[in-house]
A = this chain, B = another copy of it.
Amino acid sequence: MPIERRPLREQIRDELLRRLDRGDFSAGTDINEAALAGELGVSRTPLREALITLAGEGVLESSQGRGFRFAPVSKREFRELCEIVAALESLALETSDPGYLRKIAPELLRLARDFPDPVAEQQIIERHDDEWHDLLLSGCQNERLLDLITSVKAGMRRYAHLIAGDDAPLEREAAEHCEVAELLMAGHLDKATEALRDNWVNGMERMMSRIPSA
Contact = CB atoms under 8 A, between A and B. Distances in A.
Interface stretch (A14-22, A81-89, A129-137): A81-89
Number of identical protomers: 2
Residues of A contacting B: mostly: helix
Given A80-B142, A83-B95, A142-B84, A58 B9 contact: no
Interface stretch (A35-43, A114-122, A143-151, A198-206): A143-151
A209 interface: no
A138 interface: no
Size category of the A interface is 20 to 34
Interface in A44-61: 45, 48-49, 52-53, 56-58
Interface of A: 5-7, 9, 45, 48-49, 52-53, 56-58, 64, 77, 80-81, 83-84, 87-88, 90-91, 95, 142-145, 147-148, 151-152, 155
